[in-house]
Chain A
């Protein structure tokens, strides 16, 4: 069955990359994020305590990348009015993000799919965001699925 919105032409956008953004990580931003999610883990809040750990200092909580989002690549779909939903995220973690790091965030379109839902066609946009530190080490990769219907 032919897709209504995710046409062969639209699928050519898979692989498209958004603008990279480099953000210097502020200790206060990590603390503010930890406070907002209600996580009192000293690793995310208390430099003095965190220095006694194997990390040697504070690190960011796992989903802190949410506070660093780069502009996603522009996705062109011939879809008039739509509603959006956040479908979920898959994270992989390789290195901690620390205060003072310069993290480069970049998002690419990983997949575009369409299926027929109860409310008509639903479009699934999978993006992959990479968080890379100033040493070129990938700290985290986040795959997220946005739903338009």
Chain B
């Protein structure tokens, strides 16, 4: 595959994970509802959402979880492996507004045969607020292995 592979040796603590921008639409929320089986109406029925004191339909937390999963599988590459992924839903996000997934390397270490990298990750809204913080651990390949 033509995707670029990162190696354990390339990683420095403090380095940025290449950001992933997403521009979720109401159509995407409907597709996610169908694909995941989560049909809670706050994600596609505006009247229902308004009646529930929400500003309108909101993103599924799990969809933001999926975006952050993509951030990390893109980062780990085909030869890497996403070992852990944690997310906390702290703030709501609405369709029609861009969100960006970001991350930073906080630790690199060897655990048995595995070369591990811990990252803090988060999804932020257009105002730069971290609505979905989390953490992730990836196993990366080593050069010449």
Taking CB as reference atom, which chain B residue is nearest A50? B1
With A35-B31, A36-B32, A36-B34 in contact, do A88 and B61 touch (Cβ < 8 Å)?
A: yes
Q: Which of B28, B32, B37, B84 lies in contact with A90, CB distance below 8 A?
A: B84
CA distance A38 to B74 in the complex (A): 13
Q: Are B28 and A38 in contact (CB under 8 A)?
A: yes
Is B48 engaged at the interface, CB distance under 8 Å to the other chain?
no
Q: Are B28 and A61 in contact (CB under 8 A)?
A: no
CB contact list, B1-48 vs A, under 8 A: 1, 3, 22, 28, 31-32, 34-38
| Residues on A facing B (Cβ under 8 Å) | 29, 32-33, 35-39, 41-43, 49, 52-55, 61-63, 66-67, 69, 85-93
Q: Are B67 and A37 in contact (CB under 8 A)?
A: yes
Q: Are A62 and B73 in contact (CB under 8 A)?
A: yes
The distance from the CB of A22 to the nearest CB of chain B, in whole angstroms, is: 16
CB contact list, B52-67 vs A, under 8 A: 61-63, 65-67
Contacts of A37 on B, CB cut-off 8 Å? Answer: 32, 35, 63, 66-67, 69-70
With A53-B1, A66-B38, A86-B61 in contact, do A39 and B88 touch (Cβ < 8 Å)?
A: no
Between A32, A89, A92, the greatest number of chain B beta carbons within 10 A of the residue's beta carbon is seen for A89
The distance from the CB of A140 to the nearest CB of chain B, in whole angstroms, is: 10
CA distance A38 to B20 in the complex (A): 11
Q: Are A93 and B35 in contact (CB under 8 A)?
A: no
The distance from the CB of A38 to the nearest CB of chain B, in whole angstroms, is: 6
With A37-B63, A38-B22, A42-B1 in contact, do A32 and B35 touch (Cβ < 8 Å)?
A: yes
